[in-house]
Amino acid sequence: MNILILGGGGREHALAWAVAQNPKCDRLIVAPGNAGIAEIADCARLDINDGGAVAEFAGENGIDFVIVGPEAPLAAGVSDRLREAGFLVFGPSRAAAALEASKAFTKEICDACGAPTAAWARFTDPEAARAHIRAEGAPIVVKADGLAAGKGVIVAETTEEALAAIDEMFGGAFGDAGAEVVIEEFMGGEEASFFVLSDGDTVLPLGTAQDHKRIGEGDTGPNTGGMGAYSPAPVMTDAVTARALDEIVRPTIDEMKRRGTPFQGVLFAGLMIENGAPRLLEYNVRFGDPECQALMMRLGAQALDLMQAAAEGRLSEMQVNWADDHAMCVVMAAKGYPGGYAKGTGIGGLDALPEDSHRMMFHAGTAEEGGRVVAAGGRVLGATGRGASLRAARDAAYALVDAVDWPDGVCRRDIGWRALGK
Ligand code: AMP
Ligand code: GLY
């Protein structure tokens, strides 16, 4: 089977790493890929948000299966275009990708299917939004409706902060994504990420993880794309997982099917868990990054069989074979991220890393320049370890971090602190 993966981050390196281990995989192309992916797959330059260009490329290269990594091509309808052209695709249609692309759409779906989530209201008029905030008081959450690269959410502790967020969003700080604003009740509790596969009909729970969104240790400082993750998430006990499936995820998949826009791909539910009760924070329509690195390390080659079965509508035949293990990914970022950072700084020691089925340095923003690997983005590497306990997984991940010679890189030293203590 010739496989094309779209994307070039740590998530896609982990997907490529798992897929390449499956004997079914004959040829693997990743577009655009990165310096780490280039070691296990062919990398191709391609505008991955242009469905016509991707379909043409897939045709020319005899591709049998396309796996879409990030949300942008999904929201742009790339999977629809590929399916029209006859390709097998893992990833939802543009209509189903609205579960991530529009927060108001997700809220409507929750209301329609009775999935528990924060009380909410939507506004296109700033004055009405301000009046709502004054009436509700703080804490309160203000969100840009559209895709804002994870940055369009303000958890306001005071009314003033919430009002300032309204000014910012309607002032165009998030472009079109902020033309409509969703205001939500603040939910307390512990967050977890829950991943399920769906073929539009069957729902197969894939795994759980916990991310670390803040840049600073102890979960302080500004939000990032994610600084580290581990799987499984202890807060997702069997009982909480069963409730999340029955009360949130299955009703959503059923509602999407009922509307004639079935969801096929991986659905990533961001949950808030309080007193054993899960409520939905948000959906994403793709794997999380860095959650995917931890999940793929645990799943290995079967990930390809599972994604293929989802694409072919055969998920009811499948099961996930979990080892009783743990994985952790620690993200190494360029100094200054999520603010301004330098590109092109050299990274040494990567060739000598002891990588195997329990230890992998996944690349995110890296490039090869004159025979050496350099940083080419904000989040640059994902040191990922696996072990019989979370502690063992953490030790394996940090051993990789410590073996890398990159003076311009930083990472959090406390990934897993909630589960492990400091
Ligand atoms: P989102 O992009 O919607 O997941 O929001 C980003 C982060 O903001 C989440 O991971 C939560 O930490 C926080 N957040 C979002 N909505 C709420 C809410 N209603 N109550 C409390 N925290 C929230
Ligand atoms: N790590 C969070 C995300 O991928 O959205």
- For 177-203, give the DSSP string: GGSSEEEEE---SEEEEEEEEEESS-E
SS3 for 224? coil
Closest-CA residue, ligand 1 atom 9, reads 281
Ligand 2 and 288: CB distance under 6 A: yes
Closest-CA residue, ligand 1 atom 6, reads 153
Ligand 2 and 70: CB distance under 6 A: no
Residue with the larger pLDDT of the pair 74 and 179: 74
Helices (H), 88-125: 98-101, 103-113
Specify the pLDDT at position 396. 98
Residue 102: inside a domain: no
Give 223's pLDDT tier (boundaries 50, 70, 90). Answer: confident
Q: How far apart are CA 400 and CA 345, in angstroms?
A: 19
Pair (198, 163) in one structural domain: no
Pull the structure tokens for residue 250: 């299955």
Domain stops at, among 41, 68, 91: 91
Best probe residue, ligand 2, of 71, 151, 153, 211 (max atoms within 8 Å of C-beta) = 211
Ligand 1 and 271: CB distance under 6 A: no
Give 344's pLDDT tier (boundaries 50, 70, 90). Answer: very high
Atom of ligand 1 nearest to the CA of 118: 19
388 CA to centre of ligand 2 in angstroms? 25
Q: For the segment 313-325, what is each residue's pLDDT rounded down to a tens digit?
A: 999 999 999 888 9
207 CA to centre of ligand 2 in angstroms? 15
Q: How far apart are CA 383 and CA 381, in angstroms?
A: 6
Map tokens 């990743």 to a residue: 30
Tell me which ligand sits closest to the C-alpha of residue 144.
Answer: 1
Specify the pLDDT at position 162. 95
Domain stops at, among 135, 154, 179: 179
Q: How far apart are CA 268 and CA 133, in angstroms?
A: 29
- Per-residue pLDDT, averaged over 77-86, amounts to 98
Pair (231, 197) in one structural domain: yes
- Sequence length of the chain is 422
Parent domain of 347: 326-420
Q: How far apart are CA 121 and CA 183, in angstroms?
A: 5
SS3 for 268? strand
SS3 for 206? strand
Tell me which ligand sits closest to the C-alpha of residue 177.
Answer: 1
Q: How far apart are CA 133 and CA 124, in angstroms?
A: 14
Q: How far apart are CA 148 and CA 177, in angstroms?
A: 6
Query: Mean pLDDT over all residues of the chain?
Result: 95
The structure's pTM equals: 0.94
Give 150's pLDDT tier (boundaries 50, 70, 90). Answer: low
Tell me which ligand sits closest to the C-alpha of residue 214.
Answer: 1
Tell me which ligand sits closest to the C-alpha of residue 192.
Answer: 1
Nearest partner of 134 among 165, 154, 162, judged by Cα: 162
Give 149's pLDDT tier (boundaries 50, 70, 90). Answer: low
Residue with the larger pLDDT of the pair 203 and 177: 203
Residue 273: inside a domain: yes
Ligand 1 and 191: CB distance under 6 A: yes
What percent of the chain lies above the pLDDT cut of 90? 90
The continuous run of DSSP H or E covering 89 comes out as strand 88-90
Domain stops at, among 283, 317, 351: 317
Ligand 1 and 105: CB distance under 6 A: no
Return the CATH number at 138.
3.30.1490.20
Specify the pLDDT at position 217. 96
Q: How far apart are CA 103 and CA 181, in angstroms?
A: 9
Pair (37, 148) in one structural domain: no
The values of phi and psi at residue 212, to 5°, are -130, 100
Specify the pLDDT at position 314. 98
Closest-CA residue, ligand 2 atom 4, reads 288
Specify the pLDDT at position 332. 98
Pair (152, 221) in one structural domain: no
Tell me which ligand sits closest to the C-alpha of residue 139.
Answer: 1
Residue 220: inside a domain: yes
- Alpha-carbon 199 to chain mean position: 19
**Residue 131: which residues within 8 A CB-CB, separation 6 or more?**
none
- Per-residue pLDDT, averaged over 102-119, amounts to 94
CA distances from 11 to 70, 157, 365, 380 (A): 9, 33, 11, 12
Pair (171, 227) in one structural domain: no
Our count of domains for the chain comes to 4
Atom of ligand 1 nearest to the CA of 270: 4
Nearest partner of 244 among 115, 419, 153, judged by Cα: 115
Q: How far apart are CA 195 and CA 283, in angstroms?
A: 10
Atom of ligand 2 nearest to the CA of 291: 1
Specify the pLDDT at position 148. 63
Residue 144: inside a domain: yes
Q: How far apart are CA 202 and CA 207, in angstroms?
A: 16
Q: How far apart are CA 237 and CA 243, in angstroms?
A: 10
Q: How far apart are CA 14 and CA 364, in angstroms?
A: 10
89 CA to centre of ligand 1 in angstroms? 30
Specify the pLDDT at position 319. 96
Residue 374 falls in which region: left (phi positive, over 0), alpha (psi -120 to 50) or beta? beta
Q: For the segment 6-28, what is each residue's pLDDT rounded down to a tens digit?
A: 999 999 999 999 999 999 999 99
Residue 251: inside a domain: yes
Residue 100: inside a domain: no
Pair (310, 198) in one structural domain: yes
Residue 248: inside a domain: yes
Instruction: Please check the confidence at residue 173 and state whether its pLDDT lies above 90.
Output: no
| Residue 95 CB neighbour total at 10 angstroms | 17
Pair (133, 56) in one structural domain: no
- Provide the 8-state DSSP code for 356: B
281 CA to centre of ligand 1 in angstroms? 6
Q: For the segment 1-10, what is each residue's pLDDT rounded down to a tens digit?
A: 999 999 999 9
Pair (295, 397) in one structural domain: no
- Per-residue pLDDT, averaged over 188-217, amounts to 96
Q: For the segment 350-375, what is each residue's pLDDT rounded down to a tens digit?
A: 999 999 999 999 999 999 999 999 99
Pair (338, 360) in one structural domain: yes
Pair (75, 129) in one structural domain: no
Q: For the segment 239-293, what is each residue's pLDDT rounded down to a tens digit?
A: 999 999 999 999 999 999 999 999 999 999 999 999 999 999 999 999 999 999 9
Pair (29, 58) in one structural domain: yes
Pair (202, 265) in one structural domain: yes
Q: How far apart are CA 305 and CA 24, in angstroms?
A: 9
Pick the range with the lowest mean pLDDT from 29-43, 135-149, 251-265.
Answer: 135-149
The continuous run of DSSP H or E covering 122 comes out as strand 120-123
Instruction: Please check the confidence at residue 377 and state whether its pLDDT lies above 80.
Output: yes
Instruction: Please check the confidence at residue 421 and state whether its pLDDT lies above 90.
Output: no
DSSP E strands in 242-378: the ranges are 264-274, 277-284, 326-334, 346-347, 359-363, 366-369, 372-375
Q: For the segment 391-419, what is each residue's pLDDT rounded down to a tens digit?
A: 999 999 999 999 999 999 999 999 999 88
Specify the pLDDT at position 178. 60
